[in-house]
Chain A
């Protein structure tokens, strides 16, 4: 039972980070109909900015802030300088461009920082607090949960309660009508990219310290899990991304704890197939997804 509690909490803690990354994917998908394969690499770039700022100033929180700002700017830059110019008639084109960006970003990071692992700091201790002899959660885990809860609630508030959020949704769902009504559709799209990339950067700041450390490829595997989470939840559904992320985190933890870590990829595939064969557009897809 202790082991079950331990694995569950460990899975939830990682799952919440997958949830944040998946949320970033969902944001861009809803805004631009693009699966941003470069999100992991962009987030790592932001984490490197944090690393530089933290080593220069000695302050974790300045670095944290710098990462989020860098994420926002990078997202806007990628939209304005690259994605806006891509011919979107074939859905493949943005995918390929994103893959090109992955290569470019990782290579540039490798040139600037070298292909070494660098330690990633945490603002709180990662030593787990014990309750009744069972190691439960560390202060850092609590920080992760709190941050992601704030992000989820904040995004929900922006999209449902603010004028900007309303315009972004309008621009995404009915661009022509929105343009006629005076909404700056392009600007809203850029804002969407910036927001998503900022959330992605935040996720990187939370997950990199729990893994091998900072490295140009640090988010590769997280991206695969996050993409899986987004697909399982349904790319059009932010709540789906959160549920999908937690589900994938739990699954990975249980399988490597009870069965063997080499079987985790197989478990992920099984989850994907089980969900998608029943609901081809994810768990939280609108019911009448296909009209034919």
Chain B
């Protein structure tokens, strides 16, 4: 068996209802997405007033991770390229935003327009890095691509130690961020403002990705994933498509990392270790690969998991000796088992499960109506 067969894309028997180009006129796709985003934005603002500051911060973190998981979903779910290095791309975005914000702060430049510029710079830098990795990745398949991206995931955090003059080694860099605009009043909670910033950026990313997925590009992505030979016969430039998918995905990861840095007001290599890259991959697969909605579940999971650690150990009261051993380990064991069971019982992830459930309900409901 050749390496090509080995790395052959998943048989295209996966139900593609969620990502199939919508029936109906093209123009309405954008409008419908815009409407959904507008509703989501209003909802987010309403929610931000209702939740406590810590929940606002958590939701903002979900938004930041969502940029990255959505990007990874496009790459792995739609284009079939496996990346173990998206944590490193997040680091690129985060460090760019840190360097840019520090450069502005050192020169005494202030104003609310500074942050969007830094975020833009982070996006562009990550796109450039993503293009370089993407060109290499387009030549590689399956585990060979995994090997290179794994190395990238290890190298990027290590570079911050090598060039510690710029990146300040293990300790990392602060990310100076402006307080909320004065127009919002003197007692406007900082965490609510963080949610607004992260939420706005993420909704924009989702809007763009959502349209991309349903556009001609989205179709070529899937065509390459399903059958490279057929795609080539249909006149698709396979390598170019793969590089494009990598670049788009890297942009998402870069912006996600940048937002994470802005939220934490600091960046350091420990936050972007290989573990993060692996967790991102696990998150999108559990969420449901192949649909952007799955990326949402994945991002939620990434934030809820550490919180779960605390809750689980709080629930059980045990003798100190036992408790010390279970502390931290028990939630990880539970997560590991869940991961294995979900993959065996519901390979479509959470979103796949929900869709199945939804379809089953609809099927029961429809006959009665008609």
Which residues of A does B touch, CB under 8 Å?
29, 33, 35, 82, 85-87, 89-93, 95-97, 99-108, 110-112, 114-115, 172-173, 224, 227-228, 230-231, 235-236, 260, 262-266, 268-269, 272-273, 276-277, 280-282, 285-286, 288-292
Check A263/B10 contact, CB under 8 A, given A92-B76, A103-B332: no
Are A92 and B2 neighbours in the complex by a CB distance under 8 Å? no
CA distance A273 to B7 in the complex (A): 19
Q: B162 near A: Cβ within 8 Å?
A: yes
A247 CB to closest chain B CB, in angstroms?
A: 14
B333's partner among A104, A227, A230 (CB-CB below 8 A) is: A104
Q: Is the CB of A101 within 8 A of B159?
A: no
Within 8 A of A (CB), among B330-358: 330, 332-333, 335-340, 343-344, 347
Chain B residues with CB below 8 A from A290, complex form? 2-4
Interface string of B142-158 (1 = CB under 8 A from A): 11101110111011001
Task: Give bound CA distance, A235 to B337, whole Å.
Answer: 28
Question: B142, B150, B162, B285: which contacts A227 (Cβ < 8 A)?
Answer: B150
Asked if B337 contacts A100 (CB within 8 A), the reply is: yes
Report Cα–Cα, A208/B270, bound state, in Å.
24
Complex-state Cα separation, A273 to B243, whole angstroms: 16
B232 at the interface (CB under 8 A from A): yes
Within 8 A of A (CB), among B148-189: 148, 150-152, 154-155, 158-159, 161-162
A138 to B228, CA, bound (A): 52
Instruction: Considering the complex, give the chain B residue whose CB is closest to the CB of A264.
Output: B158
Chain A residues with CB under 8 Å of B232's CB are 292
| B278 close to chain A: CB less than 8 A | yes
- CB distance B3 to A285 under 8 Å? yes
Per the bound structure, the CA–CA distance linking A240 and B344 in Å amounts to 33
Which residue on chain A has the smallest CB distance to residue B146? A35
A100–B339 CB distance below 8 A: yes
Q: Decide if B4 touches A291 in the complex (CB within 8 Å).
A: yes
Partner of A101 from B328, B329, B340 at Cβ < 8 Å = B340
Query: How far apart are B89's CB and chain A's nearest CB, in angstroms?
Result: 14
List the A side residues contacting B340 at CB < 8 Å: 82, 97, 100-101, 104
Q: A227-B150, A282-B144 are in contact. Are A265 and B336 (CB under 8 A)?
A: no
B336 lies within 8 A of A231 (CB): no
**Is B316 at the interface (CB under 8 A from chain A)?**
no
**CB of B36 within 8 A of chain A?**
no
Known contacts A89-B11, A262-B162, A266-B155: does B336 contact A103 (CB below 8 Å)?
yes
Report the minimum CB–CB distance from A235 to chain B (whole Å).
6
B302 at the interface (CB under 8 A from A): no
Residues from chain A with a CB closer than 8 A to the CB of B150 are: 224, 227-228
Q: Which residues of A contact B326 (CB under 8 A)?
A: 111
A292 to chain B: closest residue by CB: B229
**Which residues of A have CB within 8 Å of B3?**
235-236, 280-281, 285, 289-290
**A-B CB proximity, top 10 nearest:** A100-B339, A104-B336, A103-B336, A231-B147, A107-B333, A90-B10, A107-B332, A281-B3, A110-B329, A269-B151
Q: Which residues of B are interface residues toward A (Cβ below 8 A)?
A: 1-4, 6-7, 10-11, 13-14, 76, 82, 136, 139-144, 146-148, 150-152, 154-155, 158-159, 161-162, 228-229, 232, 274, 278, 281-282, 285-286, 289, 325-326, 328-330, 332-333, 335-340, 343-344, 347
Residues B139 and A277 in contact, CB atoms below 8 Å apart? yes
Q: How far is the CB of B221 from chain A (nearest CB, A)?
A: 16
Known: A96-B281, A103-B339, A292-B228. A29 touches B161 (CB 8 A): no
B162 contacts which chain A residues (CB < 8 A)?
A: 260, 262-263, 266
Find out whether the CB atom of B343 lies under 8 angstroms from the CB atom of A280: no
The reply to whether B144 and A231 contact each other, CB–CB distance below 8 Å, is yes
Give A173 to B5 CA distance when docked, in angstroms.
11
Q: Are B144 and A96 in contact (CB under 8 A)?
A: no
* A114 CA to B329 CA, complexed, in Å: 9
If A92-B289, A263-B162, A266-B162 touch, does A99 touch B278 (CB 8 Å cutoff)?
Answer: yes
Determine the chain A residues whose CB is within 8 A of the CB of B330 once the complex forms. 107, 111
Q: A96-B339, A285-B3 are in contact. Are A277 and B325 (CB under 8 A)?
A: no
B147 and A228 contact, CB distance less than 8 A: yes
Question: Residue among B142, B155, B325 with the most chain A CB within 10 A?
Answer: B155
Of B14, B146, B228, most buried by chain A (CB within 10 Å of CB) is B146
B325 near A114 with CB under 8 A, answer yes
A-B contact list, 8 entries, CB within 8 Å = A91-B7, A95-B281, A97-B340, A100-B336, A107-B332, A268-B155, A272-B148, A290-B2
Provide the residues of chain A in CB contact with B4, threshold 8 Å: 289-292
